[in-house]
Every structure is written in structure tokens, then in C-alpha cells.
Amino acid sequence: MTPLRFGVVGCGAIVTLHQLPALQRCRSVNLVGLVDRDRDWAAKVAKRFRAPAAYDDYAQLVGKVDAVLIATPNSTHAAIACDLLERGIHVLCEKPLATTGEEVDRMLASAERGGARLMTAHCLRFSPQMEMLKTVVDAGWLGAVERVSASIGGPYEGVVRRTDFRRQRALSGGGVLMDLGVHVLDLTMWLAGRAPVQVEYAGSFADGWEVETDAEVALRFPDEGRASLQASFSTPLGNSLTVRGAKGWARVSLYVPTELTLFAEEARVCRQAGLQTLRLADRNMYDAQIAHFCRAVATGDAFRVRDTEVRATLDVIDRCYGRIAA
Amino acid sequence: MTETRLLTLEQDGWDRAARLRDLAGRIGELEWLDGAVARAVIHVGSAGRCTLAVETAMAIVAALRERAPGLRIELLDLAKAGNERHGVPHVTLDHDRTVVVRGPRGAAVQVPALWFEPFFLVTVAAVHPDSRWRIGGVLQAQAEVLAFLNPGAPAGLLLAEAHRLGASDLAIACGSHSTTGDWWIASPSDVLVEGAVARSAGLDPRELPGVRAIARHELVSSWEAEHAAPDLRGVAAGPVAAAILAARERGAAAGRRTLEDVGLVTRNLRKVPQALRRRLAARRSA
């Protein structure tokens, strides 16, 4: 497979801590340039990760790259992605893909026009415990999914970050629901395999924030399945996800990739020995995500993160924020 | 009325096929096949495998077919390659279709993903002398699935885990005696069958290395049940070889654990620079 010439737009903490090391490790990637509004910072990061060029404008990547990773503040994703996609450059975009469903539609239309591919970097879908959970749910070990509960987040002070865009509505496009809650929303709808018909939302704001710092979302699915999700920038939460089905349950910690606990009442092994803790091979989810993106671009295979799923997630966020009727 | 937990049968001059039909009929009368509702897997143990074990398995297949015509029946026979036998499809163990389960002492074993599905398991084992277990029987047969998926893992661990996670719904030990002919010992309890075989061989079941491996974590079944036992004297291998093999296994396991620990320590040490960088980045941004 010819390596993809890759550029990175935005050099914040997620990029320097996780995405660039993963891009460096990926054999299907040839890292050609980094972009940040702060060119000096881009140059520093480029030197550290041995990228040959650093720019302060993403347009300078055009003609030099096959694909880019966009990791800029949320509200800028759509404009940058649309421009690059129209020029035929494949885009892997940090979550949330956009700040509204309408922006997602525009991005998909641009991808169509430019003949390029667009995937949202919902990294947790590539974490081994989540992959196993999806396998368990799809294999029917738990029966039909009846309830999903999940929580994500902790005090914002502990979040490694280079800028404070998350506090400003104009840049973030939303609060903790948009930033962290989108992870558990995406996982919930991916695992349930369907979009909710009813959405309830409650958010609260801490001092100094233009957006909500705590969010609770309740979803009801067409077949009476339910989900209750929590996200917070103020309170340490469990950072776990539990799926209850008609015939069992499974629980994972969001940040412990190597374990999944489950009880499936019809599973022979659970009838014999009760709940089971599955041990999974440790694998870096960012590595897996980049490898998947490159492979799918090369082969034309579908992305694991589907456009319709991303659109449905943004639709829920729009409903939570009252942009469309819940 | 006392619940029958152990069935012992000898050929007693019967034609083998007729006695096998009789055995399956008796097992059915004891309601030991009632759990076979949607799917049944009949496992024929590889070690000591003989025609009698295969014929016993096929007799159980026939009984199950008669009782529940819609039942999905499959054979698990690691010693025999192929897709089917006498119209019964084979279950194949696939290294790609496994799940790693963490045991009570933190040890992890790969088990077939199949174990997370509902099915009724019958294990048929031909009893034979075994240098590691002294008597090879149903416990060894159950463990061979895990031995296939976990090459090099301590045999004692695999035997105990196979019993804990995948004990048979019906266990049948069988063999042929030079003078009295074929014999069978069956029970819904794998340990009870193993114990009965040991008693018939003139051994205290609690002295069997396999039973000891299980009894380390579990109160094993009472051995007092009286049964008309076939004479199995001489079927057990000597205790010295079993003790040497067990000690060697323990040594190898300790060596492996040490190597694993060294690997983990090395991996954690490699994470230190990145953790420090992360801390510094956090401090800079604060």
C-alpha cells in the first residue's frame, strides 16, 4: 500500500500526545506537514515529530498531501474540511465532526463533490474493550439492548490542553456534551444500532464558562430501549459504559482498554461460573484508528464510523441544545 | 427417593450396540439429557481415543435425535479432521474465535467464543493410564480444548479452568476390560465420574492430581456414593511420574511468570518519559 501523504491541521494536546505519535508509528502514513495558527509552535512540533514542514495556513498543504487530520477547535472543522474535501483531500476529523447537523450535511456534500473521503475520529470505537463490547452485543450474547448507561469526564483543571477554546461558545460550539458527551453518545448509538426517538437533556454552567460544564442526556429508542448518559467538566465521573440487554449485561471502563466484564445468562460459561472478566490484547486506539482510515481510503471499504451515525449523533446534540425539536 | 448421580454399566455379555442403546436409554430415563433443548455438542476426548468412545458418542447422538428431532447436534473431535461424521457436523476450534477469560487467581486463559453461546455439552472419554494425571478421563478430555488454544500453559491450570468454565452437562467415561468387556460410568458431574473411575482403580479420588487441582478452589463432590464398579485395577499410572511432571510444570509456570513480570516492568519503565512529557505539557499550559 502506497503511504498516504498526511498533513495535520491544528497542533493541540490531542495531536501532540496521541495523534502524531500514532501517525509516526503508522507505516501507511508519510507525514509531510503540520499546520497551526501559531507557526512557531507548529515548527517546534514538526521538529519534535520529524515532519518536514510547518505552516500557519492549511491551504499551504494543498497539492502536498493526500489526507489531513483536522484537530482544530470544533467550530472551525466544517469550513476547513469542506475546503479540503472539495479539493479532493481525504479528511480524518477530530470529534465532534461539526457543531451542528447542518454543518455535517455540508461536509458530506463537499466530500461527494470532491470525490474525497471523510471520517470522524471517534477514537474510542477503536479501543479493544469497545470493539469487544460491540462484538458481544452484535453476537446477541446480551439479547436485545434495553439500557445503556455511561458517564465521562472529570474536573477540567486536569485536562491536558494547549488552549482554552472549550470555554468559549464561538469556538467550541457547545459544552461538555459536545466535547466529551459526544463520545458516549456515539458509542451508545453505535452499540444500540439505532437512533433515539426521544431526547431529554439537562445542562448546568460553572462560573467563567459560556457553555455547559455538566450535562445529562436521556434517550429513548424506538423499541423502548433507553440510555442515560452523563458528561462533566466539573465532577469526577465513573468513565464507564454499561450495556444491559434482555439476557445479560456488559460493562467497560472507557479508559481501560484491556478488560470487559459481562454476564450473559444463556452463555454456557456464565451459567457455569457466573460473571466473566474478559482480558483483551492491549492496543493503542489511535494507532488502530489511523490504520483503519488509511486502509479504508486505499481499498474503498466503508469506514467503521458511518456518516449516518455521525449525522444522528449531531442530530441528538442539536435536539439537546434546542436547535431542533426534541 | 435418592437422586441417582452416577450410572455404572458393564457389557455383561451383551452385544455392544445393544448395550450402548441400553446405556443411552438409561441416561434418558434419568433425565440427564433434558437440558439438551436447542443445541448439543458431543465431545470425544482425544487422549486414549478408541472405537468404543466414538460409538458411545454416536449412541448419545442417536438418543438425542430421537428425543428432540429439531435439536442441532455437533461433534467436537480434535483427533479427527473433517467436517462431519455420520451426518453429524463437526465443531472446529479456531484460534481467531476465542475470548480470553481472567480466572479467579488472575491467570487468563483463551476459551472458545462458542462457550459464550448456549449449548448442552456431553463429553465422552476413553479411560487410559496417563503419566501426568495417573488416570486420563473426562477431566483431561475437557481440558484438551483449552490445551489446544493455550499451548504451553500449565496443564493443572487448564484442567481446573476447563472444569470451572466448561464442565460437561453429561460426562461419560468408558473402557474395555480384558475379561468382562466394555464398561461405562456416566454422571452429570465430571468430578464424580473421575472419582468413580479412581475408586474402581483402587485409588482414593482425592489423590488424583486432576481432582487435587480442582479441589484447591472448590469443594468437590462426595465420593461416598456406592456403585457397582467395573474392576479397573492397573489402569492408573504410577504416582512418581505424575509428581515429577507436576513439579516441572510448576517450575516452568514460575519461570514464565517471572519473564512476564520483567516484560511488564520494562514496558512501564518505557512509559515514564511520555508521562513526564505529559506532566510538563500540563504544567506549561496551566
Does position B2 have pLDDT exceeding 60, yes or no?
Answer: no
What per-residue confidence (pLDDT) applies to B221?
64
% of residues, chain A, pLDDT over 90? 87
What sign for the dihedral angle of Cα A313, A318, A319, A325? negative
Measure the CA–CA gap between A262 and A241, rounded to whole angstroms.
Answer: 12
In tens, the pLDDT along B81-120 reads: 777 777 888 888 888 889 999 887 678 899 999 999 999 9
* DSSP for A107-132, written as a single string: HHHHHHHHT--EEEE-GGGGSHHHHH
The answer, for B84 touching chain A at a CB cutoff of 8 Å, is: no
Mean pLDDT of B135-158: 92
- Chain A residue numbers with beta carbons less than 8 Å from the beta carbon of B286 are 157
Task: Please report which helix (H) or strand (E) contains residue A209, including its range.
Answer: none
What per-residue confidence (pLDDT) applies to B227?
64
- Chain B residue numbers with beta carbons less than 8 Å from the beta carbon of A157 are 286
In tens, the pLDDT along A15-30 reads: 999 999 999 999 999 9
Residue keyed to cell 443411552: B24
**Is A139 within 8 Å of B116 when comparing Cβ atoms?**
yes
% of residues, chain B, pLDDT over 90? 46
Residue A287: closest CA among A84, A128, A77: A128
The chain B residue lying nearest A17, using CA atoms, is: B278
Mean pLDDT of A203-229: 92
Distances (CA, A) of A287 to A19, A134, A159, B135: 8, 19, 22, 49
What per-residue confidence (pLDDT) applies to A162?
75
Strands A118-121 and B128-130: unpaired
The chain A residue lying nearest B162, using CA atoms, is: A269
Pairs of residues, one from chain A and one from chain B, whose beta carbons lie less than 8 Å apart: 62
- Mean pLDDT over all residues of chain A? 93
What per-residue confidence (pLDDT) applies to B13?
85
* DSSP for B211-241, written as a single string: HHHHHTTS-PPPS---------TT-SPPHHH
Mean pLDDT of B256-272: 88
In tens, the pLDDT along A220-248 reads: 999 889 999 999 999 999 999 999 999 99
**Is A269 within 8 Å of B278 when comparing Cβ atoms?**
no
The answer, for A270 touching chain B at a CB cutoff of 8 Å, is: yes
**Is B285 within 8 Å of A160 when comparing Cβ atoms?**
yes
Select from A136, A162, A268 the Cβ nearest to the Cβ of B115. Answer: A268
Task: Please report which helix (H) or strand (E) contains residue A220, including its range.
Answer: strand A214-220
Does position B1 have pLDDT exceeding 50, yes or no?
Answer: no
List of long-range contacts for A320-324, beta carbons under 8 Å, 24+ apart: A320/A177, A320/A199, A320/A201, A320/A203, A320/A215, A320/A217, A321/A174, A321/A177, A321/A201, A323/A100, A324/A101
- Chain B residue numbers with beta carbons less than 8 Å from the beta carbon of A162 are 281, 285
Does position B270 have pLDDT exceeding 80, yes or no?
Answer: yes
Which segments of A231-306 does DSSP mark as H helices, in order? 268-273, 285-299
pLDDT band at B275 (very low <50, low <70, confident <90, very high): confident
Q: Which of residues 87-106 of B touch A (CB under 8 A)?
A: 99-102
- Chain B residue numbers with beta carbons less than 8 Å from the beta carbon of A277 are 101-102
Asked whether the beta carbons of B116 and B126 are under 8 A apart, the reply is no
Task: Looking at the complex, report in whole angstroms how far the Cα of residue B181 sits from the nearest Cα belonging to chain A.
Answer: 35
The answer, for A17 touching chain B at a CB cutoff of 8 Å, is: yes
Mean pLDDT of B161-188: 92
Residue A76 DSSP one-character state: G
**Is A272 within 8 Å of B285 when comparing Cβ atoms?**
no
Asked whether the beta carbons of A249 and A257 are under 8 A apart, the reply is no
> Which comes out higher in pLDDT, residue A272 or B223?
A272
C-alpha cell at A77: 472543522
Does position A131 have pLDDT exceeding 50, yes or no?
Answer: yes
Does position A9 have pLDDT exceeding 70, yes or no?
Answer: yes
The chain A residue lying nearest B218, using CA atoms, is: A273
Strand partners, A240: A151, A253
What per-residue confidence (pLDDT) applies to A96?
95
Task: Looking at the complex, report in whole angstroms how far the Cα of residue B40 sits from the nearest Cα belonging to chain A.
Answer: 11
What per-residue confidence (pLDDT) applies to B16?
94
pLDDT band at B226 (very low <50, low <70, confident <90, very high): low
Q: What share of chain B is helix, strand, coil (3-state, %, to 5)?
A: 45, 20, 35
| Dihedrals phi, psi of A321, to nearest 5 degrees | -85, 5
In tens, the pLDDT along A138-165 reads: 999 999 999 999 999 998 876 677 777 7
Q: Give the Cβ contact number of residue B256 at 10 Å.
A: 13
What per-residue confidence (pLDDT) applies to A8?
97
- Mean pLDDT over all residues of chain B? 87
Burial group, residue A237, by CB count within 10 angstroms (0-12, 13-18, 19+) = middle
Helix pair A128-138, A182-192: axis angle to 10 deg: 30
Measure the CA–CA gap between A23 and A227, rounded to whole angstroms.
Answer: 34
For the stretch A105-123, what's the b/e string if a residue is b when 16 or more beta carbons lie within 10 angstroms of its beta carbon? ebbbebbeebebbbbbbbb
What sign for the dihedral angle of Cα B30, B32, B33, B34? positive
Q: Which of B76, B99, B149, B214 to mutate to test the interface with A (most CBs of A within 10 A)?
A: B99
**Is A272 within 8 Å of B164 when comparing Cβ atoms?**
yes
Residue A180 DSSP one-character state: I
The chain B residue lying nearest A278, using CA atoms, is: B101
> Which comes out higher in pLDDT, residue B16 or B275?
B16
Assembly ipTM? 0.76
- Chain A residue numbers with beta carbons less than 8 Å from the beta carbon of B117 are 141, 266-268
- Chain A residue numbers with beta carbons less than 8 Å from the beta carbon of B118 are 266-268, 271
Mean pLDDT of B153-159: 90
Does position B174 have pLDDT exceeding 60, yes or no?
Answer: yes
> Which comes out higher in pLDDT, residue B84 or A251?
A251
The chain B residue lying nearest A258, using CA atoms, is: B100
Beta-strand ranges (E) seen in chain B are 7-10, 39-44, 72-76, 84-85, 88-89, 98-102, 108-112, 120-126, 128-130, 134-136, 170-177, 181-187
C-alpha cell at B157: 491450570
What sign for the dihedral angle of Cα A80, A310, A313, A102? positive
Residue A118: closest CA among A145, A94, A142, A99: A94
Does position B47 have pLDDT exceeding 50, yes or no?
Answer: yes
Q: What is the dihedral of CA A305, A309, A311, A313, to 10 degrees?
A: -110
- Which stretch, A77-91, A264-278, B125-139, B194-208, has highest mean pLDDT? A77-91
